[in-house]
Structure 1
Amino acid sequence: MCHRVPNGKHLVLGRLICLQNLSLRRWWDSERPICFVLNYDRIFITKTLQTELKEPLSSLTFSFDLGQDEVNAITTAMKEYEGLTCVQFTPWTGEDDYLAIQSLDGCWSYIGYYGGSQAVSLLKGFCAYNGGVQHELNHALGFYHEHNRSDRDDYVTIMYQYISPENIGNFDKISTNNLGVDYDYSSILHYAGNAFSNTSGQNTIVPHPNPNVPIGQSYGLSNLDVLKINRLYGCDECSTLLSAPNGTLTSTNYPSNYQNNANCVWLIRTPSDQVTLSFNAFNVQKSQSCTDYIRVYDGATTSAPMILDKTCGTGPLPVMIASTNRMLVEFVTDSAITAPGFKATYSTVQCGGTFYTPSRNVTTPNYPKSYPPNLDCQFIITAPTSYKVALNINNFFVEKSANCQYDYLEIYDGNSMSAPKIGSRYCSYQVFNVMVSSGRSMLLRFHSDASVQMYGFTASYNFGE
């Protein structure tokens, strides 16, 4: 049931809202930060968000009873705000007002700023995951559920006949400032179609005119969620969130020349697996210090490890694979000469990686235990310019079959599967000689089918001239 709260406050409990006064209070810009405490490490948001009365929010506090898994989920979710909006996280210095993020009696948050110890509950085992964290933090930043918007009747029909009387209030239409942003079926704040249904197989929210449009998701912020945050808080951010399993990204105006003085990021966050990125075209104004450049990061922010350092000029770039389902692309330009820019496509792979550092090991998943079924892994090794890759497969035991048709390893003399193969497919038990690339890249592709798994392989590589 709903918690009772002081007059003028709004409390969201799980997917329930208790509304007593609809005057929305939001965080606003100031010189004081939004803070949070992560167990005993204290951190806060530097782009201060405070009320219309300029009363500053001080800190977001994590209670001591949150375990490391919850802490990791919370910090990962917050990093997406950092990468895509002007909401940033830095160490806390003892301010009085804060968000107290704890595992209490459900998944809930107040809407907007009220000061003091302002609770956000992320119940362990239920909502301390990326989408759950961002759902509640968006409430704290001042946003209502999407289906409560003032214009919702233009986009969805509420099926009251399938909602019990005690739950009707969760579907109230609210007088909201929609910030000129389209209705977002994919918002992290949109209810699922069957939310609070009292009849099996019947939805309580039906999109129109197309009732088959998917609504609601728990992965995290949508691109329109990001846009709304940036508009509400006056963030001058050039940022795009790409959350589909595959897609395309281009520099502004592509294939015409990109704009001057740009600082743009694209966060690729796929539903699962590992992100792989391929540049179909790349033409960024070349200079000795790369004043126009692109960088690619193995994670959600520019503090993540770099997959590709500052790069400009023309020509093909290597395929890149993140270690998780998140990859950040950063594009920066100066005030001088421009160029057409770039076009890239992304998708996912189940396993693999991009390797730029010298002398590392590459293994199949679970090695030395049996690899999983139904794998398609790509390992891309790229040496510095003018260097070559020397690959040594130390141990190799893959299911034997005629022509290696079931489980196999393929090795390509380049950074894509369009490059020439080194040998043919490899399976069974093998002993290898050292293999050396003709250029600076080598790609290993490992495939397994649904039956019979062996130990796989372990390999090492180094770079040489």
Structure 2
Amino acid sequence: MESDTILHEGDIVLRRKRSAINCDSSCFWPKSRDGLVSVPVNVSTEFSVAERTWIAEAMQEFATLTCVQFINRTTETNYISVVPGKSCWSHFGKIGGMQQVGLMKTGCMSKGAIQHEMNHALGFLHEQARSDRDNYVKIMWEYIMAGEQGNFGKVNSNNLGLPYDYSSVMHYGTFDFSNTSGKATIVPIPDPSVPIGQREGLSNLDVAKINKLYSCNYCSNVLHKPNDTFSSVNYPSLYPDNSNCLWLIRIPQHQVFLQFDAFDLQPSPDCTSDYIRIYDGSSRNSSVLLDKLCGMGSLPSLVASRNVMLLEFVSDETTAATGFQASYSQVKCGSTLMGTSGVITSPDYPNRYPKNQDCFWIISAPADRKISLKMVSFELEDIDECKYDYLLIHDGSRPTSPAVGPYCGTMQIADFTSSENFVLVEFHSDVSWVFPGFMLNYTFDKTVLGYSTQAMGLHGGTPESYTKSTKGFSMHYCQEKDHKNPFPSP
């Protein structure tokens, strides 16, 4: 297909007998009665298992955040065939019948690159081809490779009334098609330092544009900064009725660390009316870090296993609460631990730990259990006041929770038992000396805290429900069968 195909703007296959690119309702994929836009896809078996997994994960993000879902093609006449290519390319919108999307194995396997081509197939142009692009970027024609100027045209586009998006997966990069090393072909204005051309995943405005073009009634948000604060709709006023909102946190690297600054959701038995749920990944298919939770009070902090975390918020037809406010940042290592016992070690243990590390391990016990820690091995850089490399043990899940330590050198560390059901183990190393590090064991103590617990059935399973009342607030925690343990106050 590629050998005799002329690509417009580098990766768009023009339809026959069309003199200009313009997608109207005729090239949109149809919406079903259930409100979903189901796009049949066949992924070539010439891709490896790992490559097919990457493609599936990239397409899953559409289904999570929009009403567009890519489904396995069975007998559908109109469908997308994803094949290995000598470059990255796609048709523009739905053309009818089988239409191919080409993905080069050595250059198109990032999530954003895959989504870029699938977005073309949904009917989206390059961002810098928008009709209003000259208000936002300057095209440096003198630095564009000979014969490639056609990749930098603009069209009379439908911009959907949404802002220009430097962060779109549909935007070219700063140096794309440059004829001179270090010379930009696209310069953002008025601030030339603004990053453009990311391929990490759909941007917040990418999601908004898909939802608007396809009339998806979705409340979805993408948070891509290394750290930020966000809140439920209308916070600190009452949140809307009948909400179903998602926040996908996707930081550039490392692992997501999330903490709540305020939490007030309408309580209900088993949190069936209003609740939040948090996933360790980018979709509802990911493992659950925090199951249904409602009520009022403090929530525990959480560490994701990688650079993405998904928060889901649901409300019913009656609202009597203000919602939540949360903040997130990044840590270089750590995890959220929920097993009844386990081991925590410094990175690369028993080898020397790396330089410049900041790690958080959050241990979460059931509502009626304390946590006991026992140090097995410990050797960090030894310096007065432990100001370079150190270990802190927090009696709670937050960096601001009371702590013992800091510990460094070869200090003897006494056994530790928490006063609540959360512990945060914090480790820091600086940019110079490194040492063997540490290993500690944790167990859930048999001592019962002063909480009332009540077991009840839910959805035919055998979940547990925990209620805690203290210091003027109450919180209701619901754990469904096969999900992780509930979280009381940190």
* TM-score range normalised by the length of the shorter chain: 0.7 to 0.9
Other structure's SS at 1:137 match: helix
Query: Which of 62, 66, 81 pairs up with 2:43?
Result: 62
Aligned to 2:458: none
Query: Using the alignment, how far apart are the partners of 1:246 and 1:400 within structure 2?
Result: 31
Alpha-carbon distance, 1:439 to partner = 1.0
Runs of 5+ in structure 2 lacking a partner?
449-490
Question: In structure 2, what is the equivalent of residue 323 of structure 1?
Answer: 305
Q: Tell whether the 8 Å contact from 1:11 to 1:111 is kept in structure 2 after alignment.
A: no
Counterpart of 2:59 (choices 78, 90, 94) is 78
Offset of 1:335 from its aligned partner?
1.1
CA separation of 1:194 and 1:89: change in aligned 2, threshold 3 A: closer
Assess if the C-alpha contact under 8 Å between 2:42 and 2:73 holds in 1. no
Partner of 1:160 in structure 2?
141
Aligned equivalent of 1:189, options 143, 166, 170:
170
Is residue 104 from structure 1 mapped to residue 85 from structure 2 by the alignment?
A: yes
Matched to 1:309, the amino acid is D
User: Which AA in structure 1 matches 2:150?
Assistant: G
**Deviations, residues 324-375 of structure 1 (Å, cap 9, x unaligned):** 1101111111112321111111111111112233223322222233221110
> Who is 2:334 aligned against?
352
Pair 1:48–1:258, CA change in 2 (3 A): closer
State the one-letter code of the partner of 2:28: R
Residue number among 47, 54, 75 corresponding to 2:36 in the alignment: 47
Q: Which of the residues 198, 209, 227 maps onto 2:179? A: 198
CA contact (8 A) 1:12 1:109 kept: no
Among 28, 31, 51, the residue aligned to 1:29: 31
Amino acid at match of 1:48: V
CA distance 1:369–1:47, shift in 2 (3 Å) = farther
Q: Deviations over 1:381-433 (max 9, x none)?
A: 122222211123333333344443332211111112222223x2223346655
**1:298 Cα deviation (Å)?**
0.6
Distance 1:233 1:254, change over 3 A: same
Specify the SS of the correspondent of 1:138. Answer: helix
- In 2, Cα distance between equivalents of 1:192 and 1:129: 15
TM-score between both structures, scaled by the size of structure 1? 0.87
Cα deviation for residue 110 of structure 1 reads 1.4
Query: In the TM superposition, what are the counterparts of 1:80-95 in structure 2 within 5 Å?
Result: 80-95=61-76
Matched, 1:366 2:351: no
Q: Secondary structure at the match of 1:80?
A: helix
What TM-score results when the alignment is normalised by the length of structure 2?
A: 0.83
Distance 2:110 2:377 in 1: 38
Q: How many residues align?
A: 438
Distance, in Å, in 2 between the alignment partners of 1:2 and 1:74 is: 21
What is the DSSP-based 3-state SS (H/G/I as helix, E as strand, rest coil) of the residue aligned with 1:178?
coil
Distance 2:388 2:89 in 1: 49
Map 1:10-409 onto structure 2 (within 5 A): 11=7, 15-17=10-12, 19=14, 21=18, 22-24=21-23, 25-30=27-32, 47-49=36-38, 59-290=40-271, 291-409=273-391
Q: Distance in 1 between matches of 2:347 and 2:82?
A: 36
Residue pair 1:148, 1:174 contacting (<8 A) in 2 also: yes
Give unpaired runs (5+ residues) of structure 1: 33-45, 50-56
Please tell me whether the aligned partners of residues 260 and 338 of structure 1 are also in contact (alpha carbons under 8 angstroms). no
Structure 2 counterpart of 1:381, which letter?
I
SS of 1:296's equivalent in the other structure is strand
Shift of 1:16: 4.2
AA matched with 2:218? E
> Given the superposition, is the C-alpha separation of residues 450 and 164 from structure 1 closer, same or farther in structure 2, using an over 3 Å criterion?
closer
**CA–CA distance in structure 2, aligned partners of residues 89 and 140 of structure 1:** 11
How far does the alpha carbon of each residue in 1:51-99 deviate from its partner, in whole angstroms, 9 at most, with x for none?
Answer: xxxxxx5x32222232243233222222221221112355543434432
Cα distance change on mapping 1:180 and 1:186 into 2, 3 Å: same
> Residue 289 of structure 1 aligns to a residue in which SS?
helix
Q: How far 1:153 sits from its partner (Å)?
A: 2.4
Provide the rounded CA distance (Å) in 2 between the counterparts of 1:88 and 1:16: 22
Cα distance change of structure 1 residues 91 and 171 upon mapping to structure 2, 3 Å threshold: closer
How far apart are residue 152 of structure 1 and its match? 1.7
Corresponding letter in the other structure for 1:26 = F
Query: Match of 1:312, SS?
Result: strand
Instruction: State how far apart, in whole Å, the 2-side matches of 1:16 and 1:346 are.
Output: 36
For 2:54, give the aligned amino acid: A
The alpha-carbon distance between structure 1 residues 125 and 364, as it changes in their structure 2 partners (threshold 3 A), is farther
Asked if the contact 2:8–2:150 (Cα under 8 Å) also holds between the matched residues in 1, the reply is no
Q: CA deviation at 1:121?
A: 1.8
Letter in 2 for 1:338: A
State the 1:141 CA deviation.
1.3
Give identity over the alignment, percent: 47
Find the counterpart in structure 2 of residue 40 from structure 1. none
The code of the aligned residue for 1:303 comes to: N
- Residue range with higher mean Cα deviation, 389-398 or 89-98: 89-98
Tell me which amino acid in the other structure corresponds to 1:353.
S
1:31 positional shift:
6.5
Task: Work out the CA distance in 2 between the residues paired with 1:70 and 1:431.
Answer: 49
Counterpart contact for 1:82–1:89, Cα < 8 Å: yes
Question: Following TM superposition, by how much is the alpha carbon of 1:437 offset from its aligned partner in structure 2, in angstroms?
Answer: 0.2
- Give the match's secondary structure for 2:341: coil
Native 8 Å contact 2:12 2:120 kept in 1: no
